[in-house]
Structure 1
Amino acid sequence: MKQFQELSFQELEEVQGGVITLTIGTAVLVGWKAVAAYGAAATVAGGTLGLGVYNGYRGR
């Protein structure tokens, strides 16, 4: 049995009337909290990419 359902991008993120909302599971982040979550995700993704490039360059 499939326990999780795939959500479309539109279901995960909505921009309504200039207010940014982000839904993760049952938690809904609105406004500056949603922006902070996006910023944290971008920081983690950038760090992961940088570490991958570094390790690839070093031959690990």
Structure 2
Amino acid sequence: MSGSQGDNMEGMARMRRGGGRHAVRRFDSRGVRRERSVALRDAVRHGWDAAAVQAALLGDQPTLW
């Protein structure tokens, strides 16, 4: 199978060869995922801070509890 990593991952998901993981959602654009990843990296740069990690992962999205 040739193509980009994204193409290969989508093909694996279609053939149910993803180890039980869900396919990467297309509506979650790479830019959004990258921003979240960078924010998470910055949150733990100087050690674990649970509040900073939660803020990096959720942004301004409210939680249920």
TM-score by length of structure 1 reads 0.33
Larger radius of gyration: 1
TM-score by length of structure 2 reads 0.31
- Where is the strand percentage greater, Structure 1 or Structure 2? 1
